[in-house]
Amino acid sequence: MAVGRDDKKIARTANIWMVIRDSAGEARAVREAQAKHNKVDVKEITQPNRPMLGTPQHIATLLRAYMDAGFDTALVELPAPYDHQTMERLMLEVKPLVQSE
């Protein structure tokens, strides 16, 4: 409120890199293959909270934490080749888990 704006009226958006699989290890392997495909060192695209890698339940827990912190929108960034499994699982498995809270 120091600048005269109500915090609740500020739209917060998170840019998220994500791979959804049946295990964190499988998701990590997919992310590494994506980096190799794009000729990027995987260390350059790994930060403390990025990317989100793991099962639908784990991803939903992480997304709920963003929501609890006040984020309204998550932009999911997917590198080439597009990860259709992550897109499908995000819509069909993760979304219902996040919305059920």
Instruction: Please name the amino acid found at residue 59.
Output: I
Q: E-strand spans in the chain?
A: 13-20, 52-54, 73-77
What confidence tens digit (pLDDT) does each residue in 11-46 have?
899 999 999 999 999 999 999 999 999 998 877 777
Q: Where are the domains of the chain?
A: 14-99
Q: How long a stretch of residues is the chain?
A: 101
pTM of the model: 0.85
